Structure 1
């Protein structure tokens, strides 16, 4: 017999190292030949879209096409430390460092433009599409490319930025405090079909809402949500190490099962934007949080369908049948 159930999972997640631990990111911005902008920072790309989102933040501050920005982030001889790609911290922490560095770079560009345009101050100078322009007399302008020709060999135009996240240590006596900032929130609802004869659980549909502060790149964000759902699905229903006295029995992919495209459903993703005032353009990280509510939602849906509360993952068919039989025997 096949039974249908619905479940919801909710979560909140504190980003960054937390609990008073120094959480610092740094960045250097340079004007490169041909007027290109170089962003130098240790924001490691592990699939979260850092190569794109960090360049987008820089492009926004300096009003230049993202295609004209080079991100140097995997050469420790060239870039400053930006902390680890962990704790969902890079968008918030390193994004802030890049934004600060670019704002400092903007001041440098205005100062150099003032000299080259023979002006007596930077008042009225603005950045527009790769140029420094005197807003009330736009005939006075100079491109980043021209500035790079003047200031690349002997004097390089560059600026630095550093950001330290605000985090407080919890009280050791009471366990109270605010160890993380900021927090991100999400909710996932699923509908499942449970076959009580075979123990197989199929996901029928899902709606997933994720707080992102401000979506720097909505397409990448939805990709993260889809990926987080797939990882949560595998964690809940498939991935079984089968540890026996410390020995991993399922030590190859022929036995350690992971979800495939055939196991996924089309997810109704909802991006919730409530800008975080301390974040770069309001954006918060969502790297790890997107995996958290999936398992609770699926487990609650299974319970709604067959009345059995599973507390050990993964919910393999064998395990579910055992619980169903045990439930019948106890009645």
Structure 2
């Protein structure tokens, strides 16, 4: 396919929170598919917070470390527009990790550790959900609530970053399981959106009376805390956890721009006291490796009308740098943050 395409590359390593100027848009020729390769046209791009781990000058954690000038990596939904591989036909929709670019070549036989691109059924749900409710965020929410959190009917579940892609699905899963769901989010609009999704309560951590709101929302304490944030939010949750509470930990966005040692004071002494005094069970996990079971459950609940999948959409590849930076600077998005790169061919 002749012509030019755009791609976003890493122009500078992030110092603290990412800035739009850390990225650069380039124009390059559209590649051609070789033997047993497929050419993908990017339709949707997911701006996952975990991408932040890959753009420190020195790798601190995570599996990916980017070099300056490399195309930004990240999950995408694409359409096959040329195929030299028997398992993929032109017109197929797939989910993979082809990055911030308009077209990409993939060799399914030589795919990364997540395997070849996943084929999608557009009749099941909008293909964009493969990056949210029916993708990694959905798997993470299911793993945190069902497998790690072991939520039972009648329990109270607290979720931080509850208006995000993982949190918004996790709260709904907790409700499906018969639990009480309390979300923590930033701003009245996000809290209103959570209540509209069925959360029993939503507390604004930016409000001056956050502590009072939070205590009022947890008259009997909390049995499970799905932590996506860390920082001051988690410090506010710890005193209200019941004895034996479970704390699935799938993120700590308060510290993504911090090195191995953050600024003082040192809160570890109090943290350890809570762990011992309450017999807390804390487990970090990566739900993206949870397998198909969670996605099948969520798909079933979606068909039954028990799970909704809010999406916040920005238009055009050129919007990706600013939208990604906004993830770390108090955005107003609810649900999965997506970039619509193109319509289907």
TM-score by length of 1: 0.20
Which protein has the larger Cα radius of gyration, Structure 1 or Structure 2?
Answer: 1
Larger RCO, structure (CA 8 Å, separation 6 or more): 1
TM-score by length of 2: 0.20
